[in-house]
Chains A and B, each alone.
Chain A
Amino acid sequence: MRFSTSLRELIGKRDFYAGGLMLLLGLGIALKGSTYRAGTLMHMGPGFLPTALGILLVLLGIAIAAASLTGGPDEHGGDQSILPEHPQWWAWFCILMSPVAFIFFGRYFGMAPGTFACVFIAALGDKTSSWKGTIILASVVTVFGVTLFSYFLQVPMPILTWRGEL
């Protein structure tokens, strides 16, 4: 038996964390769901199904985590770490900031600045990108995108605007 699993080995087991995440999610769903009216089987209330799903998710989470502890068949070919081999923190940050920039610039300055900022920030994440190439890419996408979405598809968002109150 593998009861002597050391803590270090445990940290490498990503299925353990996968199960743990499901367990927590299920717990949250079930607890929140229990505040809604559950009703009876015949007249189900809004809380019935979500709570049931939450409990199911807790059980599945336990099963996933337990399977990882008993050393079940290895599905990831030895890749047990949660982070990839070369973590791309900067690129991930850029990709996630790109929609945020779109919201901010789109809301206060209009579609064109929003598009430019969105593409520009996302492109910064690539290791091989240069300032010049990034600016050119963002400009091209802005021109193309504004033409397509504003003129042809009539998305109701001003191209250029100024809302002073930030």
Chain B
Amino acid sequence: MIEQALSGLWYGFGVAFEPHNILWCFVGVLVGNMVGVLPGMGPLATISILLPLTFGMKPVGAILMLGGVMYGAQYGGAICSILLNLPCHPPHAVTCLDGFPMTKQGRGGVALGLTVFASFVGASWGITEMIFLSPLLVKAALQFGPAEVCSLMLLGLLAGSTLARGSPIKGVAMTVLGLFLGSVGTDLETGSERYTFGMTELDDGIELIALALGLFGIAEFMNSVNQVAPINTKYTNVGIKDMRPTKADMKRAFFPMWRGTIVGSLCSLIPGTGPTIASFVAYATEKKISRHPEKFGTGLIEGVVCPEASTHSSVQGDFIPTMSLGIPGDAVMALLLGALMIQGIVPGPQLISQHPDIFWGLVASFWIGNIMLVLLNVPLIGIWVKMLAIPYRFLYPSAMFFVCIGVYAANNDFFQVGEVAVIGLFGYVLLRLGFHPAPILLGFVLGPRFEENFRRAMLISRGDILVFVERPISAVFVALCALLIGSQIYFRLRGAKADLEPAAENVVGGEAPTALATQRVPATPAE
């Protein structure tokens, strides 16, 4: 088993070191790092903008680049949080608590330096986990019939919508809406058109890119236009020399870093709990076991490295269910799966054996990309810091152009540009009504496969709905679904919060009520 994984990894390095692949990986992490630094742009919007550009590329290069944007943005987001106190990327919101006080004390450079190091450790652990766990998962998943796949998807969708941010019931509503949007267009089995209202452009369904850019691009711009606080560049003068930590700092950061890594990797194994929850849980844990919890929030290095290591370990770990089962844990992963599907690759347990170049190439590119990111972030910190000063009034109009041309380039059709505007308006209404749009994307990407497998399962069982509880593996998934719903209702009736984040938000609120509440920032709904 281990031998097999190592030979796969060896092969993967061969793929990832091909000149064009390494170039795309570099482009991905560079763009990712850049948008991570820029307040108001998230990895979701960026990946959707880049998506149409990958149509002409080979699938390996495309997925390497898009994956690079995802984890590259996590490195950049930390800079934004520590130096500006702007939690513009949700996973890094807790990093502000101790990161910014450190900056005020003039130790922002040290915080950044140790963050880069902790991120690398966390990511490495996540990648190792992916190498050894994915083949195991695949072995189990290959036994699955349509009924098992169906109930597994149901579990993934439920977890993705109830454990994420905000009210669980609203999350479920968004998932249902996403599943419905996925069914628009020509029905694959019967060929009849659904919900097209006579528009032939909708025959192929709603464009994934238009949906993603509408919800995470236009709706977000509408949410943050004229609301962004002017950026305080007082503390952003950080150079490479400031980043070197002292021995004492290293020593204090060592164990929290590993604890964060473990928490992150555990969180990534639960579907639906992305890096945001991982970082909050890691911070809360670290505070709990600390000998001086009252000092958290005043600029402790432990409070910086622990959530950061956790975020990165969880980001890499999130790829495990996505790549080995074809079940994405959050919206970014759903988008990456969508990118694979556009390339004509069917996600699922057969992916590793049918396209080993994609899977192992991706794993190997994670190592390469993370090393590139360390190299990018340490000597070039000055450049990234300067980018923080780009004002929003230049950012969003330029991004609007990329949204329009990106959607146009997907089909070379202006219809989709109109589609993105309509979806954007609708997305903003949803945002204002307190919905988080991320589960829509999850439902949208999984919708057609869910329907296909559901129909197949029903056909095989001759219309017997009980098949889902009669087959043992499927029954386990259904039981987990029931447990998930039951516990949500139970906690709701008891008045306690079931999902982790609001609880964690209380931690935040108690820690630094002024730091986070006074600024309205363009929060990107990426977890």
Contact = CB atoms under 8 A, between A and B. Distances in A.
Interface string A117-150: 0111011011111000110011001000100010
B226 A14 contact: no
Interface stretch (B58-66, B337-345, B427-435): B427-435
Contacts of B385: none
A61 interface: yes
Contacts of B455: 44
Interface in B377-435: 391-394, 396-398, 400-405, 408-409, 412, 414, 417-418, 420-421, 424-425, 428-429, 432-435
A102 B180 contact: no
A46 B495 contact: no
Contacts of B189: 46
A99 B418 CA distance: 7
A89 B494 CA distance: 41
Interface in A63-122: 63-64, 67, 72-73, 75-76, 82-84, 86, 88, 91-92, 95-96, 98-100, 102-103, 106-107, 111, 114-115, 118-120, 122
Nearest to A142: B401
Nearest to A101: B404
A31 to B, nearest CB: 11
Contact of A14 (B397, B418, B434): B434
Interface in B170-196: 170, 172-173, 176-177, 179-180, 183, 187, 189-190, 192, 194-195
Categorize the interface residue count of chain B. Answer: 35 or more
A58 to B, nearest CB: 10
Contacts of B192: 36-37, 46
A40 B463 contact: yes
Given A36-B194, A95-B222, A141-B397, A75 B434 contact: yes
Contacts of B391: 128
The SS class assigned to the B binding surface is helix
A156 B225 contact: no
A70 to B, nearest CB: 11
Nearest to A47: B194
A137 B414 contact: no
Interface in B418-470: 418, 420-421, 424-425, 428-429, 432-435, 451, 454-455, 458-459, 462-465
A102 B173 CA distance: 33
A87 to B, nearest CB: 10
A160 to B, nearest CB: 16
A2 interface: no
B173 A64 contact: yes
Contact of B393 (A99, A106, A123): A123
B421 A99 contact: yes
Interface in B141-182: 166-167, 169-170, 172-173, 176-177, 179-180
B53 interface: yes
Given A22-B173, A99-B421, A119-B398, A50 B183 contact: yes
B414 A106 contact: yes
B434 A76 contact: yes
Nearest to A124: B397
B502 interface: yes
Given A76-B434, A126-B226, A155-B408, A99 B417 contact: yes
B451 A49 contact: yes
Interface residues of A, number: 75
Contact of B166 (A40, A46, A75, A145): A75
B393 A43 contact: no
Contacts of B414: 103, 106-107
A63 B408 contact: no
Contact of A21 (B403, B412, B433, B459): B433
Contacts of A159: none
A50 B195 contact: yes
A32 B195 contact: yes
Contacts of A29: 180, 195
A91 B409 CA distance: 26
Interface string B39-65: 000000000000001001000000000
Contacts of B241: none
Nearest to B450: A49
A1 interface: no
B502 A82 contact: no
Contacts of A15: 433-434
Given A57-B173, A64-B170, A75-B167, A141 B401 contact: yes
A157 B502 CA distance: 48
A114 B404 CA distance: 10
Contact of A50 (B173, B180, B462): B180
A40 B492 CA distance: 36
Contacts of B179: 49, 53
Nearest to A106: B414
A57 B502 CA distance: 25
A54 B421 contact: no
Contacts of A111: 405
A57 B187 CA distance: 21
B495 to A, nearest CB: 7
A101 B403 CA distance: 13
Given A41-B458, A42-B458, A92 B222 contact: yes
Contacts of B170: 18, 64
A138 B192 CA distance: 44
Nearest first, the 6 closest Cβ-Cβ pairs linking A and B are A42-B463, A41-B463, A123-B397, A46-B187, A126-B393, A122-B397
12 contacts: A18-B433, A21-B433, A46-B187, A60-B169, A96-B218, A98-B400, A99-B218, A118-B404, A119-B401, A123-B393, A127-B226, A157-B408
Interface of B: 53, 56, 166-167, 169-170, 172-173, 176-177, 179-180, 183, 187, 189-190, 192, 194-195, 218, 221-222, 225-227, 391-394, 396-398, 400-405, 408-409, 412, 414, 417-418, 420-421, 424-425, 428-429, 432-435, 451, 454-455, 458-459, 462-465, 492, 495, 497, 502
Given A57-B176, A115-B401, A137-B394, 17 more contacts: A22-B177, A25-B177, A43-B459, A44-B454, A46-B189, A46-B190, A49-B451, A57-B173, A64-B167, A75-B434, A88-B225, A95-B225, A99-B418, A122-B221, A141-B401, A145-B402, A145-B405
